[in-house]
Structure 1
Amino acid sequence: MELSLSGTKMASLSGLRLIMDDIATTTGSDTGTEWLNLGIGNPAAIPEVMETWQRMTSEALVACFGDVSCSYGPSRGLPVLVDAIAGYFNRRYGWSVGPRNIVVGPGSQMICFIAAALFTGAGATRDTKLVLPITPDYTGYQGLSLTPGGIRGVEPLLRLEGDRSFRYLLDLPALESLTDVGLMLFSSPSNPAGRCASPEEIQRLVSVARAHDVPLVVDNAYGAPFPGIGTPSMAPVWDERVINVFSVSKAGLPGERLGFAVADERYIDPIVSFLSNSALHAPQLVQSALAHALRSDVLDSLVASVIGPFYAERRKFVESLLSGSLPKDLSWHLHAAEGGMFCWVWVDEEWFDDLRLYELLKRRGVFVVPGRHFFTDVEDSPGLGRHPRQCFRISITPDPDVIAAGIEVIASALDDMRAGSTAP
């Protein structure tokens, strides 16, 4: 058997997928170890959120199971949901969108994959790449291109803010100078750093997209309007160049794989056709439940009263633990996050290495996510130097006692790494 070039690429796990596979295999084995997993990407199991989705799904099950689960449907999405999405965004943000501006897919990542397949790769006049305007960004984006070498990330500029905080900044001149852009894609708030793009930054990116004559995909998986894990919760921006992608995963339904895009119909129409030719359509029972949640404002209420406050309080808790526990005589910095579900730590010491920390913590029963996999080119990073190897990600979604115990182990491990000890 011989795989094609694109088949070889897609059949290989990325670096972070190998790490996550290792975490799942290790924590699932019967070793008697009480694992402290701070690397998980699942949203927190918030009882009110689970109860609300269970109720809405049960209502959909009773009302329309035969129609939506026992029949095929339109590739664009159930009309009841497409209409609900249009009405919701027109009502909330003053947009003027209709069904032809909307497509529902089996997860927002699949919609991003489709966009990458449609707008990047070998073309009639030139070959183009999927460009991430600022790294680090969601590592799943690095698996979106069918073309080997089809992803390019633009290194950020680093700015220190006080003793323990730092921020990534867009390098717009570097982005503007590229000649092979087919599509630009980024998350806001970002995974892993929790960085929110300001309205001014998005307008600058729109200008760059217009200059390159390409679309700009904004992945709002952690942002407004839901789950709204961000301060301030910035409204999505409508522009003829922007493909806004949304998900219900971080609003409590990651296992149902449902997302949707809202954009100019010249971008939506080919995505609908791609879905028709591949997956046919997204799961329909959960589409019906989401339509009800949008029409009744149940989801908005859940975000405002439960989801948003939960993550805001949890972030304060974790950042306080890091500040009080990590060695004070080390040069470590926390990215200034406006949202998202993670804390992004940079240990600016020559002896520090993210994979060494990962292995040491694993031997001590703790998991974090090494940072290098969120950058597209760790081996050749002239602007950042060793920085991509000096970061790690901590999830803020585990139980507080798990987070507290895990951070104590991290602090001890950093002391031992500095002293040259890697014993369990």
Structure 2
Amino acid sequence: MELSSRGAKMGGLSGIRSIMEDIALAASGTSGGTWVNLSPGNPAAIEEVTGTWRRLQEESLARRFAESSGRYGPSRGSDQLVGTIVRYFNRRYGWDITAENVLVGAGCQMLAFMATCVFTGPYPGGDRRLVLPSVPDYTGYQGLSMDEGGIVGVAPGVELLDDRLFRYTFDLEAVRRQPSMGMMLVSSPGNPTGRSIRADALAGLMEIAEERDVPLFLDHAYGDPFPGVAQTSVDPPLHPHVINCFTLSKAGVPGERLGFAIGPREAIDAMLSFTANSHLHAPQLIQATAERAIASGALDRLTTEVIRPYYRNKRLVAEKLLHELLPDTVDWRLHATEGGMFCWLWIDHDWFDDLALYEALKRKKVFVVPGRHFFVPPFDTPFLAEHATRCVRLSLSPDEPVIAEGIRRLATALEEMRGAH
């Protein structure tokens, strides 16, 4: 059967998906030695977090199974969960939202996909694109548009800091110059970098959204209020051109695919109709569980007392290991500590290539994620042409001995690559 142009684009094998299949194939092999996997986006299986979610799920299963799983529900989300979200955000941030500002969906990525379909693509005056205001950003965004060339990534500015650190910044004027804009999308803290958006950059993006009369979609998958793994952060903004998106994935239940959007009624209403037309509603048993987690304060407690300290400590350990083990002869830099669940390394040498490192580390039974998968091709600026292939993402989710061994093997691979040139 012949695929449509949209079918060919959406049915293609993305770079990150090919790596996940590569990992699954290697892990199922019979070769000797232990694989060290520093690539996953899964949150760590923290015992207290998994135990709390298991208890809450069991309570929901016992008390709400028939009404949650035995019948269809509202496309907006269950009345109980939507009401809990409204009360929580109004109390925490002093907002004045109602149920009409909320949509529960099957995770942030699905909500972002629906918003992309609603606000980008063919218009009477021509096509409008999804703009990522600063790449690198979450690799899953590259599959959100069904139209070829429907996504553009804006090259960032770079601040060089002490102690082998650096930080990406938003080039707001470059964002403002983008033609044919239908929506902007940014994660904060960012995946893969951990970059947290600052108040001045956020104000600038909201100003551009107003000027162009387009939505700014803010993905808070790693941010406040949960899982809250940002070291510094600004509160989610309530603004007529902002769609805020939140998820429970990084708070411990990624497999349940539950998130919710909060935004202006007109935008939420369009996404609500998309939900009803495509898949009716998000899974309901996890909605009942999420309601209990938020209303009881259990989710807030896990965020502040368990998840945030866990990843802060992991980051400090990883930074220490990188400084101790990576060779001084290699010009490497780490994106500044601001949040997230990853380390983002920049190796600034002509001899370095992220895919070459990926293959070299595979031979040493280590998996990482090549940096190019977090940028939007084509890499048509001088900066991106070099930089997009000189980065690599390391996960902080594995246990500390696994991270340490992975960094040791990474250091050896870098020495060998440098020596070969």
Q: TM-score range by the shorter chain?
A: over 0.9
1:343-358 residue pairs with structure 2 within 5 A?
A: 343-358=343-358
Length-normalised TM-score, structure 2? 0.98
- Aligned counterparts of 2:250 and 2:188: Cα–Cα separation in 1: 13
Comparing 42-51 and 369-378, the one that deviates more: 369-378
Instruction: Say which SS state the counterpart of residue 384 (structure 2) adopts.
Output: coil
TM-superposed deviation, 1:381? 2.8
Matched, 1:135 2:131: no
Comparing 189-198 and 228-237, the one that deviates more: 228-237
* Corresponding position of 1:241: 241
Length-normalised TM-score, structure 1? 0.98
* Corresponding position of 1:47: 47
Q: Which runs of 5+ in 1 are unaligned?
A: none
* Corresponding position of 1:327: 327
* Corresponding position of 2:256: 256
- Aligned counterparts of 1:228 and 1:406: Cα–Cα separation in 2: 26
**Does the 8 Å CA contact 1:321/1:404 hold for their aligned counterparts?**
yes
Deviation string 1:200-241 (CA, Å, 9 cap, x unpaired) is: 211110001111110000000000000001112432111111
* Corresponding position of 1:119: 119
TM-superposed deviation, 1:184? 0.2
Matched, 1:167 2:167: yes
- Aligned counterparts of 2:420 and 2:323: Cα–Cα separation in 1: 23
State how many pairs are aligned.
421
- Aligned counterparts of 2:378 and 2:191: Cα–Cα separation in 1: 17
* Corresponding position of 1:390: 390
Residue 321 of structure 2 aligns with an amino acid whose one-letter code is: L
Q: Which runs of 5+ in 2 are unaligned?
A: none
TM-superposed deviation, 1:380? 2.0
Matched, 1:365 2:368: no
Name the Cα RMSD after superposition.
Answer: 1.0
Residue 171 of structure 1 aligns with an amino acid whose one-letter code is: D
- Aligned counterparts of 2:388 and 2:271: Cα–Cα separation in 1: 34
1:302-313 residue pairs with structure 2 within 5 A?
A: 302-313=302-313
**Does the 8 Å CA contact 1:378/1:388 hold for their aligned counterparts?**
no
- Aligned counterparts of 1:288 and 1:384: Cα–Cα separation in 2: 45
* Corresponding position of 1:271: 271
- Alpha-carbon distance change, 415 to 378 in structure 1, aligned in 2, over 3 angstroms: farther
* Corresponding position of 1:101: 101
TM-superposed deviation, 1:163? 4.4
* Corresponding position of 1:64: 64
Residue 196 of structure 1 aligns with an amino acid whose one-letter code is: S
* Corresponding position of 1:212: 212
- Alpha-carbon distance change, 216 to 379 in structure 1, aligned in 2, over 3 angstroms: closer
Matched, 1:14 2:14: yes
Instruction: Say which SS state the counterpart of residue 158 (structure 2) adopts.
Output: strand
* Corresponding position of 1:144: 144
Residue 301 of structure 2 aligns with an amino acid whose one-letter code is: S
* Corresponding position of 1:89: 89
Matched, 1:283 2:287: no
- Aligned counterparts of 2:284 and 2:16: Cα–Cα separation in 1: 31
Residue 8 of structure 2 aligns with an amino acid whose one-letter code is: T
Q: Which runs of 4+ in 1 moved over 6 A?
A: none
- Aligned counterparts of 1:389 and 1:207: Cα–Cα separation in 2: 32
Residue 180 of structure 2 aligns with an amino acid whose one-letter code is: D
**Does the 8 Å CA contact 1:372/1:378 hold for their aligned counterparts?**
no
Instruction: Say which SS state the counterpart of residue 386 (structure 1) adopts.
Output: helix
